[in-house]
Structures are given as C-alpha cells and as structure tokens.
Amino acid sequence: MWWQPSQKATTICIAILALFGMMKLEGRQGRIMGFASSFCILYLASFYRKLGLLYETSTKMRQAWLASPSSTKWMRKLISSVQDFRVDVADFYFVRKTTVISVLYTILNGTITLLLAY
C-alpha cells in the first residue's frame, strides 16, 4: 500500500498552527483552534495506529505460520519468501505502530518552536 506524504505534512502543519492559535487567541477563536488541533491530532494518531497494526498483525501471522507444526518444508520456504504487509509512505519509510510517537513529537516540536519565535 502507498500513502502520500503531502497529506501527513498538511495535517501536521494544520495541527501545529491550530495549537499555536489555541494558545495565543482568546475566547471563541481559541476554542475553535483547539478543536481543530484536537481533530488533526486524533486523525493522525488513529490513522497511523491502524496502519501500524496492519504491519504488526501480518508479521505475527507470518511467524505463526512458520512455527506451525503442520507446515511442510515447502510451505515454510514459501512463507519465508513472502514479505510482510506494510504501508510505504512514498519510498521514504513504512509505517509501524511507533510512527505515531514520531508524528506527535513533530507536532509538539513545531508548536514549541512557534511559541518561542513569536
């Protein structure tokens, strides 16, 4: 599977700007920006968690098939030659369950940078 990094970059930028706006603006605008940042962060976290779960599940399933006592020599050879299911992000990397942490760190780092700059 393949996912465009422009979607990730756009959502991260919106989350950073919305968090910055939530902290700088007062009243209704601040609450709206807080809602927008929460929505973006939840979207990214749930999306990457599901994509990472696909990779983790396929890895466990392949290992279970290899360790099965009923599998023959040819079956093990066939299963070893097959790669795990994974989601490639435009030839840069593939998504694991821990990718969520790096995305949240990027949002936090960008927000802190904006707050210190302005």
- pLDDT tens for 44-93 read 888 888 888 888 888 888 888 888 888 788 888 887 888 888 877 767 77
Query: Which run of H or of E encompasses 58?
Result: helix 28-67
* Backbone φ/ψ region at 88: left (φ over 0), alpha (ψ -120 to 50), beta: beta
What average pLDDT does the segment 30-36 reach? 92
The predicted model scores a pTM of: 0.73
Return all residues near 31 (Cβ < 8 A) that are at least 6 apart: 22
Phi, psi of 25 (to 5 degrees): -90, 155
Phi, psi of 20 (to 5 degrees): -65, -45
Tell me what percent of the residues of the chain surpass a pLDDT of 70. Answer: 94
* pLDDT of res. 4: 66
Tell me what percent of the residues of the chain surpass a pLDDT of 90. Answer: 25
* pLDDT of res. 58: 87
* CA torsion angle 25 40 109 45 (round to 10): 150
Greater model confidence, 92 or 101: 101
* pLDDT of res. 42: 92
